Every structure is written in C-alpha cells, then in structure tokens.
Amino acid sequence: MPKPTITSANPLTHRLLVAAAVGIVGLLIVVPLASVFAEAFAEGPAAWWRALAHDPDTRHAIWLSLTVAPIAVAINTVFGIAAAWLVSRFRFPGRSLLITLCDVPFSVSPVVAGLALVLIFGRQGLLGPTLATLGWKVIFSWPGLVLATTFVTLPLVVRELIPVMEAIGPEEELAAVSLGASGWQVFTRVTLPNIRWALLHGIVLANARAMGEFGAVYVVSGHIAGATDTMPLRVEKLFQEYRTPASMAVASVLAGLALVTLVAKFLIERRLEAEARELEAARSLPDTIVGSGTPPDAGPRTSTQGSTA
Amino acid sequence: MPAHNPIFRSPRRRSVLPGFGISAAITSLMITALVIVPLAVLALRAASLGPTEFLAAAWTPRARAAYAVSLGASLTAAIISSVSGLLVAWVLVRIDFPGRRLLDALVDVPLALPTAVAGLVYSTLYVERGWLGRYLVPLGIHGAYSWLGIVLVLVFVSLPFAIRVVQPVLESLDRDSEEAARMLGASRVQTFLQVIFPAIFPAVLTGFALALARALGEYGSVVFISGNMPFKTEIAPVLIVSRLEEFAYAEATAIAVVLLGMSVSLLVIVNWLQQRVARNSQ
C-alpha cells in the first residue's frame, strides 16, 4: 500500500466525479445564468437600454423595487439585532420557541403569507373596514409590498447573527458594563464592531431576497402596472404580454444584481473566516495573556450553516 | 447552560447586561405582528368555515390534483437535489481541482437569483427553439410547459439547500474511521455505505426536508414554466392565487391551510433532525 492515504480514490474516479459535479452545476445554474444575458443583449445594448429606460412602467418598477427592498431590509436589520441580542445574551422561558418562530417564514409558502396579509388588510379583511375609514391602503399599495417582503426576509439577518454572537460570548460586553458603559455604548463600541461582517452578510442576503421576492408580493400587489409592479412582477407581466426581450432585459438587471450579491457575499465570507481564525488563535493562547478577555480585534466566527439561508 | 454559567442569569434574577426589555419588546412585536397574527388569522378564517365547508373548499378534485402535482414534483425534485447535492458536496469537500472555489460560489446562485428570473430563463431554454429545447424536444423531452419543467425549476431552487447542509458535515467527518475500515479490508463502496453514509445520513435527510419545504412553497419560478393547466401542471400555490383572483377567499384559505399543514409538519421534522445532527456531531 504505497499510496499517500489509503482512503484516496484513484484519479479516474476523481475526474469522473468532478465532471459530474461540474455537469450538474453547469446545466442547472451556469447555462441558465448565461442565457439571461445572451437573450437580454441579443438585439444589442441599445435595445436593452431602450427596453429598460424608455418604458415608464419598467422605470417605475425599478424605482419601486429600490424603495421597497431597503425599507424591508432596514426593518429586518433592527429586528435581527434585537432578536439575536435577546437570544444569545439572555436565557428565558420560550427562548427556543422564539428561535423556531424566527424560522417560520422559510417554511411558509410566500403565496400563503401574501394571502394571510390579504385576509388581515384586504377590503374584506379583518382590519379592512377600519383602514378604509382612515383612508389607508395596505393591500394593492406599497405598505403591503413592504409587509410581504419583510415577512419573507425575516429570518435572514437573525440567522446570521445568532451563531456569531453565541461564538463570541458576552465577556467583552460584560467588561464594558463593569467599566461603566451605557447600553448604547456597549452596543456601538463592543457588539457592533464584533458582529459587523456577519450583519453585513445577513443584510446582503436579505436584500437579494427582498429584490427578488415574487410570490408574496404578487398576491398583495394587485399587479397594477406603473403603480405596484416591482421588478420581478414586471418580468412576469412583460412575459405574459409576449414581450420576452423586454422581460429578459429586466431579468438581466436582476441577474446582474444577484451576481453582485454573490461577489459581496464571497468577500464578506473571507473576512468572516479570517476573523474566526483570529478568534480561535486568541482562544488557544495561554491563560495569562487572554486572562482579561479576548483581544479587542478578535472578531466573530462564521458558520457555513448560515449561508444556506 | 444557565446552571453552571453565571453569565447567563435568568432575567428574573436581573442580568448584568442591558437591553433585555427593549430587545424583547422589538422581537415580540415583530414576531407577533408578522408571524403569529397572520398565521392565526389564516387558521381562524379556515376554522370559521366549519368542517363540511372546509372539505368542500379544500378537497375538490381540482385541489386534490394540485396537491398531487405539488407533492409529486416537490418530492421528485427534493430527491434529485439530495442525490446530486451529495455528489457536488462530496466533490467540493474531498477533491482539490482547479476551479473548485468558483464551483463552490456558483452553488449559491439560486439563493440570490430571483425565482421569477429562473422561471423565465428555464422556460425559454427548454422550448422548441431554446438553447436546450432544440436538442431535447425532437427526442420527445418537453422541459417547458410540462411536469418535467416544474421538477427542473424546483431542483434549481432547492439544490443549494441540499448541498449546504451536507457540506459542513462532510468537512468535519473523522477520516480515521474511514482509514481503519479500509485497512481492515473494506472496499471503497463498503466504506462509503457502512462508515461514511451513516455519519452523514441525518444531514442528507435534513437537506432533503429543507429542499422539499422550499419546493412545496415555490411559486415564482413555477408559474413561468408549468403552463398551469388544471389537473395536469397546476401546483397548489398557483391554485391559491387563481382562487384569490376570483375573490374566492374561503377556498383560497382552505387550500392554503392544507399547504401550511404540510410545511409545518416539515418544519417539525427538520427541527428534530437538526437536533439529531447536532447530537451526533458532538
């Protein structure tokens, strides 16, 4: 048995396995992605630009997506930080139930979520008459879009923060409190610097999902062109109107955005891994050095699980 | 943990760390407003129908056909995703080859790409004049406006879940027992089946359940490619939307509750499996 390790397979098996993996990812992911751009630019960049910029309904859809997604992401950033702080720094009855509830939006069909919002805020809904007398419109209007988008992206920021905050532990924050820092000071000077990359990771993922959400938004929007159509809804409407090139043009903007998201995600994950290694190294130092707590530059640890979100 | 760790004091005994009140307030407000109330309203609305009316709404022949299409296509897609996901995860963890990091990054594309874009592109790829359809349609394989099309997009949206759950478990796998098995004369296949597979099986199952949950609820990509023909290629979420557009709220709600029941049972299974995986990896 002169092989380097006994468990390594022979090169031919390796090559076949790699070929199969590349084939699966290529056929399912790379070919479709490439064809979005090929189809979008089939008639040249000028036609692509015309389809995007010269159609007022498409322009409105782009603007609406760029408004709704950041609002939903901002709400979920606040929620994510609060929930992660609560879950990782305190023990209380109902804690694990709360963690489960944070994950519920992942298991609920977006269409069902949209329907639930219609049942609450729609004209025949629970709050419908009250809202009508106040003159507020939620369904078939942008607040409904924000609610639906917030629902589907709810777990993304929390899920990134909880494992990181659990891994760092509360020692630095306790030290800050014992030195007389206020709650806000602890958060801005200790917690936030420690979780910044994980937070950014969650925000990037939530934003991608928010920009691309279709099912929940479709149900609550009423798809009124030039009023409640977001970019993904515009893609569908143009496709239904047999304007596939224009539909592809909008789709290519969304696909481009997805690629930017992935590059950002990749760079952030490299940072997170580096900080996790630093944390590990700091932990393995003798007690005499780390005795008073981890060094200030020790950052969070990442989890590969988190990226499955 | 609270028993032997003085840091994690119960809030009733006053924790040293600030912010319990405000973070609890924000969290419970959001969870109540966005998760509990909407789902409760949905359940109450369905309950107010009464059993006979509920069955009449949720158990029509068309609805039953939609559940069958949803379940059948989602199960098929989740199985395909789990098998091919295990293969891709294995290659990413165990084999070093040029372009490995790129392949690893590409796996995340379905998480970032809007499902509407995926549906649009898949439907244009597999039609008769499409990039892939021009070779497949002459062979009688219709990847667009068919049941196969539904499965294809569902595999696309669920593949990353299957891969990303298995990958870390494969990475943390102890190589010693594998080498021991080989030294004791086990073949490669035997080693895989009797040493590796039992260790990663809970993770594979979790990935399967996550992929299935994602596939069952998927709407955006399927509407583009399925053709949405009642009794043939209409999935449950599409039926909910078409009932809603006819203002048949009761029927839409009843079907939604059935779909929600399937998702919730899956969530319970996933949680149970994840606890098992966590226990096994300790």
Q: For A122-159, what is each residue's pLDDT tens digit?
A: 888 888 888 888 888 888 899 999 999 999 999 999 99
Q: Do A28 and B155 touch (CB under 8 A)?
A: yes
- Reported as a pLDDT band with limits 50, 70 and 90, residue A290 is very low
CB-CB contact of B124 with B130 (8 Å): yes
CB-CB contact of A177 with B16 (8 Å): yes
**Which residues 265-294 of chain A have a CB within 8 Å of chain B?**
265-266
ipTM of the complex: 0.87
Residues of A in contact with B112 (CB under 8 A): 205, 208, 212, 258-259, 261-262, 265
Distance from CA of B179 to the nearest CA of A (A): 6
pLDDT at B9: 47
Q: Do A78 and B26 touch (CB under 8 A)?
A: yes
Q: For A52-106, what is each residue's pLDDT tens digit?
A: 999 999 999 999 999 999 999 999 999 999 999 999 999 999 998 999 899 889 8
CB-CB contact of B255 with B235 (8 Å): no
**Average pLDDT, integer, range B246-262:** 91
pLDDT at A191: 93
Q: Do A218 and B179 touch (CB under 8 A)?
A: no
- Reported as a pLDDT band with limits 50, 70 and 90, residue B240 is very high
**Which residues 53-72 of chain A have a CB within 8 Å of chain B?**
none
pLDDT at B281: 60
Distance from CA of A16 to the nearest CA of B (A): 10
- Measure the CA–CA gap between B158 and B76, rounded to whole angstroms: 11
* Token couple for B281: 């990896």
Most confident by average pLDDT, B2-11, B32-41, B174-183, B187-196:
B32-41
pTM: 0.87
- Reported as a pLDDT band with limits 50, 70 and 90, residue B30 is very high
Tell me which chain B residue has its CA closest to the CA of residue A86: B23
Tell me which chain A residue has its CA closest to the CA of residue B99: A22
3-class DSSP assignment, residue A226: coil
pLDDT at A303: 42
Residues of A in contact with B91 (CB under 8 A): 17-18, 20-21
Domains and CATH numbers, chain A: 56-284+293-308 (1.10.3720.10)
- Tell whether A10 lies on the interface with B, counting CB pairs under 8 A: no
Distance from CA of B126 to the nearest CA of A (A): 10
Give the burial class of A92: count Cβ atoms within 10 A of its Cβ; 0-12 exposed, 13-18 middle, 19 or more buried: middle
pLDDT at A309: 35
Residues of A in contact with B122 (CB under 8 A): 32
Q: Between A and B, how many CB-CB pairs are < 8 A? A: 306
Tell me which chain A residue has its CA closest to the CA of residue B125: A32
pLDDT at A300 over 60: no
Q: Do A120 and B41 touch (CB under 8 A)?
A: yes
**Which residues 251-270 of chain A have a CB within 8 Å of chain B?**
251, 254-255, 258-259, 261-262, 265-266
Considering CB atoms only, which of A79, A81, A261 is closest to B112? Answer: A261
- Measure the CA–CA gap between A260 and A264, rounded to whole angstroms: 6
pLDDT at B143: 86
CB-CB contact of B116 with A232 (8 Å): yes
- The number of residues in chain A equals 309
Q: Do B117 and A108 touch (CB under 8 A)?
A: no
